[in-house]
Amino acid sequence: MLEKITGTFSGIIRTLSGKSTITEKNIEDTVEQIKMALLEADVNLRVVRRFVNSTIEEAKGEKVLKAVDPGQQFVKIIYDKIVSMLGDQKKDLSLKGPDTTSVILLLGLQGAGKTTAAHKLAAKLKKEGRRPLLAACDLVRPAAVEQLSVLGEKIGVPVYKENSKDAVKNAEEALKYAKKNQFDTLIVDTAGRLQIDEEMMNELVKIKKSLNPDEIILVADAMTGQNAVEIAQSFDEQLGISGVILTKFDSDARGGAALSLRSITGKPIIYIGTGEKTEDFEQFHPERIASRILGMGDVVSLVEKAQATVDEEEALRLQKRMQKNEFTLDDMLAQFQQVKKMGSMQSLMDMIPGMANQQIDTSGMKRQEAIILSMTKKERANHLIIGPSRRKRIAAGSGTSVAEVNKLIKQFEKTKLTMKKLTRNRGMQAQLMSQLGMGGPGGMDMSKLGDLAKLMKR
């Protein structure tokens, strides 16, 4: 996710952070580097010019040149400017209360991922306590209705569909059905085309008039860069979109669409698609994405992902076992499985300050899992009984080597010792929570990112 632009910005930030003095020449050189990085990322030229002019103007003021820590102050200005480009703050859907049916109209070009986005959005709203209904109104793409039906069944959300070939009539009937059966949210999946055409727009205008939707959301492919901005402008001119869902955001190495959309169209990015799974669908937080772009990670999202994934009872049980020094290889295996539920290791590492773009060998964890699974219950419960002959048997059973078995056991012993220290050291726990900025109204404190990185390396 955003690998290319993050790699460039990370280098710039590292150079700035170490400077005890900042000159006007430093500012001009740095802004020129940023300008080239943004242009290479396919950011709209008007957006780049605004960024360059406003950054130079603010950075050359007394705020930076006479600051106690000018390097960090300059970094803060760059961060604030990127947040502004991305939209300043997150945008929530404007939906009515549970006693009324809210309508969300999804539109976009064919191939942008509307149908997938529709089911992900439905799953998210259902998890938040709403009662959604999906409406299959894409009657152009072959098997679109069938695809939505399969996805709806997968998440336990009903799909309204008609045999009629009239998309406008289907949408009207879906709304009647939603109101009659007390669904509080109707999500309408509409037809797309390979390019914007008059027929598609006429159909969408009719659907809009018949439904009077609360939200008209464009679904756009993040990887199309500035093209996504032009598409958003076209749809907005004729239909008045209220926001954007950027799909395939996890595959976008440049970030041109995200960095241009709000500045050019004035429309917020509401959600981003971050993978193929249903749960790979996140609310768009400008400040968190800005932090990722600058290589500072996104610990707040990491904590939220952990909270949503980790079983609370299991976590408490594990904590008690660690406090009693009863942590076993079975517990280590359970941890591996919990981490896997949170997503790919690469995506998790990208959220940790200073770890963005570092390539992770995920095969290592799979091999460690295989080693533990090749042990007997007694061996997992007490690693001290695993002598040379047992290690040889475990290596053969897991398709690994004795050296790898030895390495895992050493790692387990080190992990056990570290966890024991952490559970007994309330000061370290409190410091970690403080660095995460938990409970504060503004989320993470940007000034603490460096301290957090140091803490996590201890």
- Position of tokens 């996805």? 151
In 3D, which of 372, 268, 353, 374 has the Cα closest to residue 303?
353
In 3D, which of 184, 169, 112, 108 has the Cα closest to residue 136?
169
Q: Which residues contact 414 (CB under 8 A, 6 or more apart)?
A: none
Q: Which residues contact 249 (CB under 8 A, 6 or more apart)?
A: 1, 222, 258, 272, 273, 274
pLDDT tens digits along 241-259: 999 999 999 888 888 899 9
Residues forming beta bridges with residue 215, ordered by sequence position: 104
- Residue 448: per-residue pLDDT: 42
CA 25, distance to chain mean position in Å, is: 36
- Give, in order, the Cα–Cα distances in Å from 351 to each of 87, 295, 301, 369: 20, 9, 7, 24
| The two structure tokens encoding residue 198 | 């008059």
In degrees, rounded to 5, the angle at the alpha carbon of residue 203 between the alpha carbons of residues 200 and 206 is 150
HSE toward the beta carbon, residue 213, CA cutoff 13 A: 27
Return mean pLDDT, the chain: 84
- Residue 377: per-residue pLDDT: 93
pLDDT tens digits along 41-74: 899 999 999 999 999 888 887 666 666 677 778 8
pLDDT tens digits along 184-220: 999 999 999 888 889 899 999 999 999 999 999 999 9
pLDDT tens digits along 18-44: 677 788 888 889 999 999 999 998 999
pLDDT tens digits along 405-433: 999 999 888 878 776 666 666 555 555 44
- Residue 442: per-residue pLDDT: 37
**Pairing outcome for strands 185-190 and 102-107:** parallel
CA 84, distance to chain mean position in Å, is: 19
pLDDT tens digits along 294-337: 877 655 656 666 666 666 676 677 667 766 777 899 888 887 77
CA 8, distance to chain mean position in Å, is: 20
Which three-class secondary structure state does DSSP give residue 93?
coil
Given pLDDT bands bounded at 50, 70 and 90, which one contains residue 84?
A: very high
Neighbouring C-beta atoms of residue 285, cutoff 10 Å: 23
pLDDT tens digits along 117-166: 999 999 999 999 999 999 999 999 989 999 999 999 999 999 999 888 89
Sign of CA dihedral 238, 239, 240, 241: negative
Cβ atoms of 449 and 297 closer than 8 Å: yes
Q: Tell me: pLDDT of 271 over 70.
A: yes
Given pLDDT bands bounded at 50, 70 and 90, which one contains residue 438?
A: very low
Residues forming beta bridges with residue 134, ordered by sequence position: 159, 187
CA 410, distance to chain mean position in Å, is: 34
Cβ atoms of 123 and 147 closer than 8 Å: no
**Pairing outcome for strands 269-273 and 281-283:** antiparallel
- Residue 98: per-residue pLDDT: 87
Q: Average pLDDT for residues 101-111, to the nearest whole number?
A: 95
Task: Output DSSP code: residue 53.
Answer: H
- Inter-axis angle of helices 402-424 and 312-323, nearest 10: 90
